[in-house]
Structures are given as C-alpha cells and as structure tokens.
C-alpha cells in the first residue's frame, strides 16, 4: 500500500496498469482485484482502496479510431461485464 500512494499522487488514480514499470506494484493491484473477486480481501483493505479511488472492474478495448492512433480506451464495468 505504501508504494501505491506515490503512484496515486503522480497519476491522480491508483489504477496501476499491468504493464507499469514497477512490476511488483502492478502485480499487487492485479492480485488485489483477484482476491476481491474470490472474496478473500478484507473489508478494511477494500474500504481503504475504495477511498483511494481504485476501479475494481476494468476492461480495455480499442476503438477503431483509437486503435489506428495506438491508443486504448478504458471501459469501467459494473459486475465485470462491459
């Protein structure tokens, strides 16, 4: 969690991409999301990450225009579905 706070300050959100240069931090966020899906993340940890603004369900897709420009669009989903 302590490594996540500086990331949030720098980027304005705690949603560390899986391709981020700090692999342990990227893996931490991936595991946090997985653990929540599996129901093994503590309510205290969930509350803390919610307060930080973590987006729990992410899907990434490329639109035709964005794909042509090499950009991806983030689609926030409810219930894990886009």
What are the residue ranges spanned by the domains of the chain? 4-76
Evaluate if pTM is beyond 0.85: no
pLDDT digits (tens, 9 = 90+) for 58-73: 775 544 444 444 444 4
pLDDT above 70: percentage of residues in the chain: 71
Alpha carbon distance 77, 62 (integer Å): 15
Q: Count Cβ neighbours within 10 Å for each residue of 29-65 and write b for 16 or more, e otherwise.
A: beebbeebeeeebeeeeeeebeeeebebebeeeeeee
Q: What's the pLDDT at 57?
A: 87
């Amino acid at each position: 969690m302590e490594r996540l706070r500086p990331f949030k300050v720098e980027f304005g959100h705690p949603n560390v991409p899986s391709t981020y240069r700090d692999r342990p931090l990227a893996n931490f966020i991936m595991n946090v999301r997985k653990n929540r899906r599996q129901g093994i993340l503590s309510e205290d940890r969930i509350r803390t990450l919610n307060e930080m603004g973590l987006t729990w369900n992410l899907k990434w897709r490329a639109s035709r225009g964005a794909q042509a420009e090499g950009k991806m669009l983030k689609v926030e989903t409810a219930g894990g579905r886009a």
